[in-house]
Amino acid sequence: MAIDPGVNGGIAWTDESGKTYCVSMPDGDFGIVEKISSICSNYSERKLFLEKPPLFTNKHIPGYSVGKMMHNYGLCLGSAVAFGMTVKIVTPQAWQKTHDVGKKGERTTTEWKNVLKDKACDLYPDCPVTLKTSDALLILHAGINGKI
């Protein structure tokens, strides 16, 4: 499983047959815990690649976004530990460099997000990729291929 805990983040996972699924970050604390629980209950191998949120705000990341990411991050991490998952914390830079997409600073935020979505669509053509789920899918891909 991989989680982008952002305000517009998502969750991606692969089942034991290799089929990949993704959903937007569920609404509310209970929704997040319930989704992680339901995924965990179906699999014996439980590993989570969890994106580490930024520690500072800037002109592109307002304080409320960092606050929500940190809240979701803590909720996801706590849920994963409670459900007996092995957790690997991953920085955005670590998983992004495993995909041949260039660097974030080379594009506007909108262009960058679309590049990541396009890459996720290429890797998972049978998955309903959205801007919300693309990062989680790319984190998952990097994780299951041993690149992070």
For the chain, the domain total comes to: 1
Domain at 53, CATH number:
3.30.420.10
pLDDT in tens, 102-131: 888 888 889 999 999 999 999 999 999 999
Both structure tokens of 31: 């929704």
Phi/psi at 91 (nearest 5 deg)?
-80, 155
The boundaries of the domain holding residue 38 are 2-144
For residue 87, list its beta bridge partners: 48
Phi/psi at 84 (nearest 5 deg)?
75, 25
Measured in whole angstroms, the distance separating CA 49 from the mean position of its chain's CA atoms is 7
Q: Which has more pLDDT, 90 or 106?
A: 90
Rounded to two decimals, the pTM is 0.93
Query: Average pLDDT, stretch 18-25?
Result: 95
Burial class (CB in 10 A: 0-12, 13-18, 19+), 140: buried
pLDDT in tens, 25-74: 999 999 999 999 999 888 777 899 999 988 777 776 767 777 888 999 99
Phi/psi at 2 (nearest 5 deg)?
-135, 140
Cβ–Cβ < 8 Å for 132, 25: yes
* Residue 81: band (very low, low, confident or very high) from pLDDT cuts 50, 70, 90: very high
Q: What is the pLDDT of residue 67?
A: 80
* Residue 75: band (very low, low, confident or very high) from pLDDT cuts 50, 70, 90: very high
Torsional sign, CA 104, 109, 110, 113: positive
